[in-house]
């Protein structure tokens, strides 16, 4: 067991390090490391039930930290343009993904999972490019970061509904119930959870305080597990709970300290999660004529979906403005992978389709930065009015 963890952890760190040096996202290196060392290629380890449990733990903390970087107040602050861009960027890729799978004769639940996997932007990659080029305070950056927050929440709601469908009978009333449940959970988590965290936090801190060097961390972990369990019990994916638990802590004044405490957990568990995601890809199948063309088509639709959806919503700001925002929203990452993994584990998504989604996540992450750099460096950028700092995700 420890040997497996050693292999997973070390290969993740080395591959991530190499990719970062090549100016490519670390997560792509981690996934590819998993593909290479996994059971379908080198076979350095077998994926057992224990690995799945470890991956589940990793993804719970991953989604918690995604939530922790989504201050609910910033949701209310994002402008109308960001809401339009985020919404259009969810709707169009979802329809494209669903449409593609449906047209190819896949089942409705599988098509829904693919649609959901195509929705959520992984804004970290774009944010890093914008930071490197010192463009993170521009209006374009503000719209992208704001839209990505909208995107995350909408993506989570779509996942909640879709993952619920995977287990039940597919009927209009079931879909309606799941949608109501998901929205109710999201609203209740924030509306009831916020004051509860503010009230419980001092008491919990008092009881646990002496035994724990970091009582807020203990409360955060407890709530992260607790919300995941509740979400799971009402038929949603557990990670939805972890995400909303993270949101609750995002606005506390101690949030930066909590983010620091979460970092080592993140550093330990999340790279292992990405390696395991890569290891589940049957790489021999992926490069067959049955799978690869559809995977590339899916990737193309994922790119066009965001470009067209987000671009159209941003068009009033000018063509260059719309194009830059569209490109900035292209990368998919953790959430897309998580959706595909849940689909795979629940037996709704086939291994072939899972491989296509992983390919889509890798390609979209690699394609965006080289296109984004010249766009952000263009003279048109200088004509943009500056936006305020510190909105959306850091």
The pattern of x and - marking residues 318 through 357 that bind its own copies according to CB under 8 A reads: ----------------------------------------
Q: Is the dihedral of CA 259, 263, 264, 268 positive or negative?
A: positive
Q: Is 26 in the site for its own copies (CB under 8 A)?
A: yes
- 225/320 with CB nearer its own copies: 225
- 16/328 with CB nearer its own copies: 16
Q: Is 184 in the site for its own copies (CB under 8 A)?
A: no
Could you give the CA distance from residue 277 to residue 339 in angstroms, rounded to a whole number? Answer: 11
Q: How far is the CB of 21 from its own copies (least distance, A)?
A: 6
- 206/284 with CB nearer its own copies: 206
Could you give the CA distance from residue 115 to residue 102 in angstroms, rounded to a whole number? Answer: 10
What does the block give as tokens for 251? 């606005």
- 153/218 with CB nearer its own copies: 218
The pattern of x and - marking residues 260 through 279 that bind its own copies according to CB under 8 A reads: -xxxxx-xx-----------
- 114/218 with CB nearer its own copies: 218
Could you give the CA distance from residue 141 to residue 246 in angstroms, rounded to a whole number? Answer: 23
What 3-state class would DSSP assign to 332? Answer: strand
Q: Is 5 in the site for its own copies (CB under 8 A)?
A: yes
Q: Which of 31, 32, 60, 145 binds its own copies (CB under 8 A)?
A: 60
Place of tokens 């994916």: 237
Could you give the CA distance from residue 271 to residue 46 in angstroms, rounded to a whole number? Answer: 17
Cβ contact 219:42 at 8 Å: no
Q: Which of 72, 79, 99, 209 binds its own copies (CB under 8 A)?
A: 209
Could you give the CA distance from residue 204 to residue 237 in angstroms, rounded to a whole number? Answer: 27
What does the block give as tokens for 57? 């733990």
Q: How far is the CB of 266 from its own copies (least distance, A)?
A: 9
One-character DSSP codes across 78-141:
S-HHHHHHHHHHHHHHHHHHHHHHHHTT--HHHHHHHHHHTT-B-HHHHHHHHHHTT-TTBHHH
Q: How far is the CB of 364 from its own copies (least distance, A)?
A: 19
Q: Is 208 in the site for its own copies (CB under 8 A)?
A: yes
Buried b (16+ CB within 10 A) or exposed e, 80-105: ebbbbbbbbbbbbbbebbbebbbeee
Q: Which of 89, 146, 238, 369 binds its own copies (CB under 8 A)?
A: 238
Tell me the CA distances in angstroms from 309 to 323, 363, 366, 383, one per residue in order.
11, 19, 20, 24
Q: Which of 44, 95, 179, 232 binds its own copies (CB under 8 A)?
A: 232
Q: How far is the CB of 261 from its own copies (least distance, A)?
A: 5
Angle at 333 (CA atoms; ends 179, 170), nearest 5 degrees = 25
Q: How far is the CB of 80 from its own copies (least distance, A)?
A: 35
Q: Which of 43, 50, 131, 377 binds its own copies (CB under 8 A)?
A: 50
Q: How far is the CB of 93 from its own copies (least distance, A)?
A: 28
Stretch that binds its own copies, among 5-13, 36-44, 157-165, 320-328 (CB under 8 A): 5-13
Stretch that binds its own copies, among 16-24, 165-173, 298-306, 357-365 (CB under 8 A): 16-24
Q: Which of 221, 245, 247, 301 binds its own copies (CB under 8 A)?
A: 221
Q: SS3 for 138-198, per residue?
A: EHHHHHHHHHHHHHHHHHHHHHHHHHHHHHCCCCHHHHHHHHHHHHHHHHHHHHHHHHHHH
Q: Is 254 in the site for its own copies (CB under 8 A)?
A: no
Q: How far is the CB of 219 from its own copies (least distance, A)?
A: 9
Q: Which residues lie near its own copies (CB under 8 A)?
A: 1-3, 5-6, 9-10, 13-14, 16-21, 26, 29, 49-50, 53, 56-57, 60, 207-214, 217-218, 221-222, 225-226, 228-229, 232, 238, 261-265, 267-268
């Amino acid at each position: 067991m420890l040997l497996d963890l050693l292999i997973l952890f070390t290969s993740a760190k080395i591959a991530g390090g190499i990719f970062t040096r090549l100016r490519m996202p670390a997560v792509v290196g981690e996934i590819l490391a998993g593909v290479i060392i996994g059971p379908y290629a080198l076979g350095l380890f077998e994926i057992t039930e224990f690995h799945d449990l470890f991956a589940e733990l990793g993804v719970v903390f991953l989604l918690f930290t995604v939530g922790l970087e989504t201050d609910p107040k910033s949701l209310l602050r994002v402008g109308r343009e960001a809401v339009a861009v985020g919404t259009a960027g969810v709707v169009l890729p979802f329809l494209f993904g669903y449409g593609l799978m449906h047209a190819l004769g896949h089942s409705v639940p599988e098509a829904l999972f693919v649609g959901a996997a195509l929705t959520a932007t992984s804004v970290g990659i774009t944010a890093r490019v914008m930071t490197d080029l010192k463009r993170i305070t521009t209006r374009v950056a503000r719209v992208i970061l704001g839209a990505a927050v909208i995107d995350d929440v909408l993506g989570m709601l779509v996942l909640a509904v879709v993952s619920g469908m995977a287990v039940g009978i597919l009927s209009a009333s079931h879909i309606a119930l799941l949608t109501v449940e998901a929205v109710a959970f999201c609203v209740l988590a924030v509306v009831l959870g916020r004051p509860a965290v503010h009230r419980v936090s001092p008491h919990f801190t008092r009881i646990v305080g002496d035994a724990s060097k970091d009582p807020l961390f203990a409360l955060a972990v407890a709530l992260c597990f607790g919300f995941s369990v509740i979400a799971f019990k009402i038929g949603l994916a557990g990670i939805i709970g972890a995400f909303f638990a993270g949101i609750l802590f995002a606005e506390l004044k101690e949030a930066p300290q909590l983010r620091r405490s979460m970092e080592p957990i993140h550093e330990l568990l999340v790279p292992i999660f990405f390696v395991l995601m890569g290891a589940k890809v049957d790489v021999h199948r992926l490069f067959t004529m049955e799978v690869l063309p559809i995977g590339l088509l899916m990737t193309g639709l994922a790119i066009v979906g965001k470009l067209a959806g987000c671009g159209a919503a941003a068009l009033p700001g000018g063509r260059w403005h719309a194009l830059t925002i569209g490109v900035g929203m292209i990368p998919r990452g953790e959430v897309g992978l998580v959706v595909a993994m849940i689909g795979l584990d629940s037996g709704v998504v086939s291994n072939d389709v899972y491989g296509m989604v992983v390919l889509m996540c890798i390609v979209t992450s690699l394609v965006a930065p080289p296109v984004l750099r010249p766009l952000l460096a263009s003279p048109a950028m200088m004509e943009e009015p500056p936006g305020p700092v510190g909105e959306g995700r850091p």
